Amino acid sequence: MSTKKRVAATVNGDAAEFLCEPRQSLLEVLREVLSLTGTKEGCNDGNCGACSVIVDGTLVNSCCMLGVEIDGCEVETVEGLARNGKLHPLQKTYLEETGMQCGFCTPGFLMSSKALLDAHPDPSERQIRHWLSGNLCRCTGYDKIVRAVQKAARMLEAER
């Protein structure tokens, strides 16, 4: 058993200090150490995107990053999307446009969509499909997910 390391990070806007084993992935730390189980494991080898989170503004597969690597970083997960009881526009539009069926890949899609809209507030359909191409959804065929992102972009534009 390896020695645990002390890690200090900001998770969804709050300071988080925790101990983790060097072999633990960020995904395992989020789920098992910080009890943030909204981030999902679909493959554990970086190919499904169910574990997508945002670290210092960059979209990552949390299964492919170590927990110790987030020391000093800002991490955003699905649990941080809604603020003060108010849903993020993406959460609203995924519901309204039925951009999910089983819902398992949804947290990862929401984070990829957020990373996209943070970088490109008015994305083309092609851009949306490109940014979401690291996330597998086996239920929807992607159509309604793309529409949900398009609608959220319009909502965010109206809010600005």
Partner 1 sequence: MNKPEKLPHFRVVGTNPIRPDGLDKVTGRAVYGDDFKIAGMLHGKVLRSPHAHARIKSIDTRRAAKLPGVRAIITGADFPKPSVAMVPMGEGGYVDMNDTADNVIAKGKAFYDGHVIAAVAADNPHIAEEAVALIDVKYEVLPPVMDVRSAMAPGAAVLHETFNPGAFFMKTHKVLPNASRLELGAGDVARGFKEADVIVEREFTTETVHQGYIESHICTAQWDERGQVTIWTTTQGAFAIRDQVAIVCAVPMSHVRVVPLEIGGGFGGKDTAYIEPLAAMLAKKADRPVKVVMSRAESLRATGPSSGTFIRAKMGAKKDGTLVAADLSFAYEAGGFPGGPIAAGVLTSITRYNIPNVRLEGFDVLVNKPKVKPYRAPGATQSNFAVEQVMNQLAEKLGMDPVEFRIRNAMKTGDRLILGFPCPPVGGVEMLEAVKKHPHYKAPLGKNQGRGVAFSFWFGAGLTSSAELSVNSDGTVQMCTGSCDLSGTRLTLAMQAAEALGIDVEDVSPTIGDTHSVGYTLQSVGSRTTFATGIAVYEAAQKVLKEMAGRAALLWETDPANVAVDRGDFTDMNNPAHRFTFRELADKLEHSGGPVSAQSTVTPERVGFQLAAHLVDIEVDTETGKVDILRYTAFQDAGKAVHPDFVAGQIQGGVVQGLGWALNEEFWYDAKGRLCNASLLDYRMPIALDVPMIDVVILETPNPGHPFGVRGVGEVPIVPPAAAVANAIYDAIGVRMDALPMKPGRVLQKIKEQKSAAA
Contacting positions for partner 1 (CB under 8 A): 23, 31, 36-45, 47-48, 50, 77-79, 81-82, 87, 91, 94-98, 100-107, 110, 125, 128-130, 132-146
In contact, 141 and 102? CB cutoff 8 Å: no
Query: Minimum Å distance from CB 40 to partner 1?
Result: 7
Q: Which is nearer to partner 1, 72 or 76 (CB)?
A: 76
Q: Which is nearer to partner 1, 9 or 97 (CB)?
A: 97
Query: Minimum Å distance from CB 158 to partner 1?
Result: 20
What CA–CA distance (Å, rounded) separates 26 from 152? 28
What CA–CA distance (Å, rounded) separates 8 from 132? 30
In contact, 26 and 65? CB cutoff 8 Å: yes
In terms of DSSP H, where are the helices of 29-134?
Answer: 89-96, 106-119, 125-131
Query: Minimum Å distance from CB 28 to partner 1?
Result: 9
Query: Minimum Å distance from CB 121 to partner 1?
Result: 19
